[in-house]
Homo-oligomer: A and B are copies of this chain.
Amino acid sequence: MNKVLFAFGIHNHQPVGNFDYVFEDAYQKSYLPFLEILESHPKFRITLHYSGVLLDWLEENHADFIMRLKEMVDSRQIEMMSGAHYEPILVAIPDRDKVGQIEKLTREVRRHTGYDAKGMWMAERVWEPHLPKTLREAGVTYVILDDSHFKYAGLKEEELFGYYVTEEQGETLKVFPISERLRYTIPFQMPEDTLEYLRRVAARGKNEVAVFADDGEKFGVWPGTHEHVFKNGWLEGFVSALEKEEKSIEMVHFSEALERLPPKGRVYLPAASYREMMEWALPSTATRELEEFEQRLKDDDLFESYNIYVRGGFWRNFLAKYPESNHMHKKMLYVSKKIEDSRGSLPEETRKKALDYLWAGQCNCPYWHGVFGGLYLAHLRHAIYKNLIKAENTIQNEIHRKGVQVSAFDFSGNGEEDVVIESPTLNLYLDPSAGGSLVELDYKPAATNLMDTMSRREEAYHRKLLEDFSSNASSGEVASIHDLMISKEENLQQYLKYDWYLRRGLIDHFLAPGTTLGQFADCEYLEIGDFVDNPYEYEIAKDREFDTVSLRRTGNLTADSKSIPLQVEKTLRLRQELSEIGIMYKITNLSEESVELHFGVEWNVGLLAGNAPDRYYEVGNRKLADRKLASKGKLENVKALALVDEWQNIRVDFEYEDPAKIWRFPVETVSLSEAGFERVFQSSVVFAHWQFLLNKGEQITKAFTCSISSVK
């Protein structure tokens, strides 16, 4: 009888830094009921991947679950897959970390289940053609990728019921194509649709394998799917239906398919991921253009036949699209290099501890953004920085290095030098090429980057928010997440404001007369200076017990269509034992006339929760009506202002030599996540500003300090 082998893979993962209740919710709604169905259907043989993050959590919180899993591995119902432990995008991390993370998860899987996993789950199926060499070095013999990867190499649907061999520098790797069709029918269509498809493959009589593999969260966590898959019995029905067809549909593990079938041939796959991600990775205008193109192809009946020749970007494009993602990425590479450079000079145990923090800081989720929250989720970014800074701290604690170290190099990978200041308690990353701004400010005792913020920028999907989506009423069917357009809040449109610069620290503004707080907060104001994002020169010096970095720009104000030359110099002063930054501005009027200036320094502080009672502003000895970190308002004559985070045990104190006017407001982004459109608090802007007249040739000085300390 004609038969098809059916390899069924499930990938389960939760991001580093996700809330414990989210793990637990996913466990109750998906991971546990799925395993229970498996237990009651021992013939339903599948291949499972749990990311190391999730496996660690399960061990800690549901050790019994792992025992049950092991039993099914022992009975050969389940094949376990490896992966990179903390689920990084593999191409984004150094080779040594690729190997290290994979070996770690393989070890953990063996410890938990006794299974020697040979397959690897590729996070987000992000592939580049040079990977086989490193994967083989890490002991991986096969991976599972989307069939679109294969179609991009010119293979046709009917050639994809099997596995192929790919190669780099002579190292070979087996690759299975995941059927896109099955990815859409399971679990969203009736079981019969899947079976009918499998029967058709069987009828070819070619002794082939059909491959399904997808995220476990589609079975219970995605909106509506718990009802559908478990309560309404989709999975039970699917598995039972499969059992009835065991003569023509034989469930196999991927490793078995490798043993039983010869490879279909040789293949080389381009840099790709699943189709949707390749669209998201493009700049928003390009994403929209591509969507438009695809729509026109559909209208013209060309899409079906030719869509495999239509392609967007690839994962690394996210790093160019989102400077915030790039910064996190380059910080990660920098920390990785620090650890690598410490080889030999650090006890191996310490180095391993640092490595483990680093690897946790490589978890992919907040490094990119599509229709899942990702990069926009402040708590996920926060966890990345926390782990990376902990890795740095681990090395530093061992070395007991004293003093402040200032270095200049192209940290961000844009061809321009950055200035990195590292003291025992603080790290400051300055970008002279972009306004001499402060792009990262780490408070080491709390392992927190206070400058972990997001600018508001247009996303391709914002257009949809501006349209009326009342037509999207539930139609009874379980929609694929790609079709979902739910808003978690009314009138989110009003928050669609876009920034033209990056929301960080030490941003030097010159405002047009009459600029209001509202205009400024909405980024709909007139900047008359060119100091926000243009190049500054820098100078590094040592001044008695202080290390100083001076940043200077001779730029222009444009007022009444005249150009007024102006020099801004800002000097940062650090002393090793203090987590205090002294900042001195000198503004010089280089023109031949007097000029009225409205100058201010913007400082974003990212403290995660805008409306929590344990996080608030303090202003001198004045009581604030609204002291929450998300509050918006004006303050006059401020000498001292603090942002306090009792939860993280951090306070950030600003003290102004000349009493300052303060505008404060939150930066909130609007982004898509699994649950729909949502508003996310990103940072509190503190904008200290002064208005003054500067005569020709005159110089004015504005000084303040920023000190960071523990609350208690």
Contact = CB atoms under 8 A, between A and B. Distances in A.
A412 B166 CA distance: 11
Contacts of A95: 169
A129 B320 contact: no
A114 interface: no
A165 B330 CA distance: 14
Contact of A316 (B263, B268, B412, B415): B268
Contacts of A265: 320, 414
Number of copies: 2
Contacts of A433: 262
Interface string A315-333: 0110111000010001001
A326 B535 CA distance: 50
Given A154-B313, A262-B433, A289 B268 contact: no
Interface stretch (A192-200, A304-312, A451-459): A304-312
A268 B314 contact: yes
Contact of A128 (B130, B174, B285): B130
A333 B286 CA distance: 39
A334 interface: yes
A415 B95 CA distance: 24
B309 A170 contact: no
Contacts of A310: 309-311
A62 interface: no
A38 to B, nearest CB: 30
Nearest to A299: B300
A170 B415 contact: no
Contacts of A535: 262
Interface in A156-172: 156, 165, 167, 169-170, 172
Interface in A247-297: 262-263, 265-268, 270-271, 282-283, 285-287, 289-290, 293, 296-297
Given A268-B316, A312-B309, A169 B128 contact: no
Nearest to A290: B309
Contacts of A572: none
A271 B131 CA distance: 13
Nearest to A98: B169
Nearest to A170: B333
Determine the main DSSP class of A at the interface with B. loop
A337 interface: yes
A525 interface: no
Residue among A128, A309, A412 with the highest chain B CB neighbour number at 10 A: A309
A153 interface: yes
Contacts of A399: none
Contacts of A321: 154
Interface residues of A, number: 64
Contacts of A286: 154
A286 to B, nearest CB: 4
Contacts of A282: 153-154
Nearest to A306: B293
A314 B282 CA distance: 19
A459 to B, nearest CB: 14
B129 A316 contact: yes
B319 A153 contact: no
Interface string A102-130: 00000000000000000000000000111
A415 B93 CA distance: 28
A65 interface: no
A287 B326 CA distance: 36
A239 interface: no
Contacts of A416: 262-263
A149 to B, nearest CB: 12
A148 to B, nearest CB: 12
Contacts of A601: none
A152 interface: yes
A169 B91 CA distance: 9
A152 B144 CA distance: 25
Residue among A91, A154, A155, A314 with the highest chain B CB neighbour number at 10 A: A154
A545 interface: no
Contacts of A413: 165, 167, 170, 172, 266
A410 interface: yes
A415 B165 contact: yes
A419 B128 CA distance: 30
B91 A129 contact: yes
A153 B296 CA distance: 21
B270 A153 contact: no
A91 B130 contact: yes
B293 A309 contact: yes
Contacts of A263: 414-416
Nearest to A159: B283
A287 B309 CA distance: 10
Contact of A330 (B94, B129, B170, B337): B170
Interface string A635-652: 000000000000000000
Given A167-B413, A172-B415, A262-B433, A313 B152 contact: yes
A578 interface: no
A693 interface: no
Given A293-B302, A337-B170, A413-B172, A326 B266 contact: yes
Residue among A174, A266, A285, A287 with the highest chain B CB neighbour number at 10 A: A266
Nearest to A278: B270
11 contacts: A128-B128, A129-B314, A152-B313, A153-B282, A155-B283, A165-B415, A169-B333, A172-B415, A174-B415, A262-B433, A266-B326
Top 3 A-B residue pairs of the complex, sorted by shortest distance between their CB atoms: A268-B316, A154-B286, A263-B415
